[in-house]
Structure 1
Amino acid sequence: MSHKRRKSARASKTAEFVAFFRALEYSFPKERRLFEDPFAVRFLSLPLQVASCLSRVPLFGKVVPFLVDCFGPGARASGVARTRLIDDHLTNALEKGIEQVVILGSGYDSRAYRIADIERVHVFEVDQPQTLSVKQKKLKRVLKRRTRKVTFVETDLNVQKLEDTLLKAGFDLTRPAFFIWEGVTNYLIEQAVDLTLRFISTAAPGSFILFTYVHKQAIDTLASSPETRRIYRLLTWIDEPWTFGMVPEELPAYLESHGLKLVEDVNSVEFRKRYMNPGGPHMNAYRFYRAALAEVKNKGDEPQVRFFRSFFH
């Protein structure tokens, strides 16, 4: 069995870790939480479910997040802040009348079930078969009824073209869409990122993509840098290595060459400052993680571009 097939034969562990970070938001008072994700804990293995539940007990409420932050400084804070960032942009896209939402590498993302008003649009969840299979089984246990407008699209972006699977699943290139690509590009090969962005550029005017990426320098020094050495060991242990990074200074030209126009690009410190105490210890580390918003190039869409840009400032 090939290396790629071995990895796709099981659900993603990193997807579970990110769900764990979201579940830990319930350890904080309601007024301090960045979002409410009641589904996150349902996607966890038993040990992480126990840790998540313990975090809601007053005695352990601060201890569990503290230990998580000690093991991977900045990872949890960066993860939940980017979740809130994307939630906000998705909500505003829905308010502006977006008609389709595509979640690439959806993992244990629960936006299709917890974001207000999303039920009126068609949502496509795209991920590898095993992760989607596990997710659907867990969702059946918690959803009273199947959401009619959610389509699961089995796709390994490293070996399949998104256009082949997404169009077959019913995606309409003539209707504006909001693409979410969270925590995925750094696990792909360059060709997969290239082909995916080029396909997204063919979407209807008014379409946008919000994606996260890792600074290429961090990818190149992952095993040797003191800041990322522990991340490297964890990724090696679970066999989910980081393989692709981007250079922020080169991003505008890179996107232009792929038929997209950069709206904004922010690092994890910047988007953590937006939602968290800017002087807290959670601001340390993970500076190499970034989030970018891009539009499908269309000269007539300038008013909508200004709308999206306003939420980055």
Structure 2
Amino acid sequence: MNNNLASWTAHYVSLTRAAHQVLDGLPKIIDDHIVVGLTIGSSVSEISEKAEEFQSPIKNLARSLFILRSRFAEDKLKDSVERGIKHYVMLGAGLETFAYRQPQWAEQIKIIELDHPASQKLKRECLAGHQIDVPNNVTFCCVDFEKTTLDGALNNVNMDHHAPTFFSWLGVTQYLSAEAFYDMLKAFLRFPKGSAVVFSFVLVDELLDGLNLEAAQFFARKVAENGEPWLMRFTPSRLQEQLYQLGFAKVEHLRPQDIEQLYLAGRSDQLTAPIFEQFMYIEV
């Protein structure tokens, strides 16, 4: 990624999440009044005018992915807060809106948004343009994940480094080199026992078929064209094995069938569990 340019994916994810609020049925996977109109093309009228385009099979699948991975992370965060975690670090926060629609249970925690400088600049401009205040419990921290360690980035943040911390790492791992990916996992392990991470990962083509293979190939091309190529893809069983070998105490793979049962049962819209990108929850 060019640090002088805001992330194309950050804008695309935000736009797609806004489409969920406008086009999909009730109940919403995430109720997010902040995201609608936050960025170019995401107003109710703009989305409604392109409703047919947003509801193509690949875009329905992408919308499902972006909404579901955030919902899973927020559910796990709530569980973690209930057991005493006080810090929430969002790695590659993009235009994620959790901090600006935070529920009452989150007001007691410190929320730290880490991202590339240009993407963070875009976010601040979007928030200011819509007169959305930054809550007192939110801190921004600029970072290049390929050049700066997690420890180094967080050293610039006022937080208790001896307290368990919850991390979300969504839509990031596919853009990292193998070295940067495993260095980040090792950095998580240096945090106190009870720290936890939710992250997403893209499967290798060999495990995909049909629409999910088509979607993976489409987005791989699209992000590469926008200067953000995918570098890492995974086999879930092998990844789970590696996480245990590294020393994580708990590893949970949220499978597509788990998503269907937890979040999609009984829905009448076109949202469906993604296969090409999946989610892990790990604990130190």
> TM-score of the superposition, structure 1-length normalised?
0.79
Contact 1:218 1:228 in 2 (8 A): no
In 2, the alpha carbon distance for the partners of 1:219 and 1:19 equals 28
More moved, 114-123 vs 269-278: 269-278
Aligned to 1:16: 11
In the alignment, is residue 40 of structure 1 matched against residue 28 of structure 2? Answer: no
Aligned to 2:219: 231
Contact 1:264 1:292 in 2 (8 A): yes
- Residue 124 of structure 1: CA displacement? 0.9
Q: Aligned ranges for residues 242-261 of structure 1 at < 5 Å?
A: 242-261=230-249
In 1, the alpha carbon distance for the partners of 2:55 and 2:91 equals 26
Aligned to 2:84: 97
In 1, the alpha carbon distance for the partners of 2:271 and 2:117 equals 34
**Aligned with 2:73 (options 86, 89, 104):** 86
In 2, the alpha carbon distance for the partners of 1:162 and 1:218 equals 32
1:246 alignment partner AA: F
Q: For the structure 1 residues 220 and 241, does the alpha-carbon distance in structure 2 shift closer, same or farther, using more than 3 Å as the test? A: farther
- Residue 183 of structure 1: CA displacement? 0.8
In the alignment, is residue 111 of structure 1 matched against residue 98 of structure 2? Answer: yes
More moved, 68-77 vs 128-137: 68-77
- Residue 18 of structure 1: CA displacement? 1.2
- Residue 145 of structure 1: CA displacement? 4.0
- Residue 68 of structure 1: CA displacement? 4.0
In 2, the alpha carbon distance for the partners of 1:170 and 1:294 equals 25
- Residue 254 of structure 1: CA displacement? 1.3
- Residue 176 of structure 1: CA displacement? 1.3
Per-residue displacement from partner, 1:211-233 (whole Å, max 9, x unpaired)? 11111346999xxx645332233
Q: For the structure 1 residues 253 and 29, does the alpha-carbon distance in structure 2 shift closer, same or farther, using more than 3 Å as the test? A: closer
Match of 2:19, SS state, is helix
Per-residue displacement from partner, 1:120-171 (whole Å, max 9, x unpaired)? 2111100100101111222234456432221111111012111111122223
Contact 1:103 1:126 in 2 (8 A): yes
> TM-score of the superposition, structure 2-length normalised?
0.87
Q: For the structure 1 residues 38 and 65, does the alpha-carbon distance in structure 2 shift closer, same or farther, using more than 3 Å as the test? A: farther
In the alignment, is residue 175 of structure 1 matched against residue 167 of structure 2? Answer: no
Aligned residues: 279
1:121 alignment partner AA: I
- Residue 264 of structure 1: CA displacement? 0.9
1:9 alignment partner AA: N
Per-residue displacement from partner, 1:199-256 (whole Å, max 9, x unpaired)? 11111222111111111346999xxx64533223312222211111222112233113
- Residue 99 of structure 1: CA displacement? 0.5
Structure 1 stretches of 5 or more lacking a match? Answer: 297-313
Aligned to 2:45: 53
**Aligned with 1:196 (options 184, 203, 212):** 184
User: As a proportion of its length, which structure holds more helix?
Assistant: 1
Contact 1:77 1:272 in 2 (8 A): no
Q: For the structure 1 residues 229 and 28, does the alpha-carbon distance in structure 2 shift closer, same or farther, using more than 3 Å as the test? A: closer
In 2, the alpha carbon distance for the partners of 1:41 and 1:121 equals 25
Tell me the C-alpha RMSD between the 2 structures.
Answer: 2.7
2:76 alignment partner AA: H
In the alignment, is residue 25 of structure 1 matched against residue 20 of structure 2? Answer: yes
Q: For the structure 1 residues 131 and 226, does the alpha-carbon distance in structure 2 shift closer, same or farther, using more than 3 Å as the test? A: closer
Structure 2 stretches of 5 or more lacking a match? Answer: none
In the alignment, is residue 213 of structure 1 matched against residue 201 of structure 2? Answer: yes
In 1, the alpha carbon distance for the partners of 2:132 and 2:199 equals 31
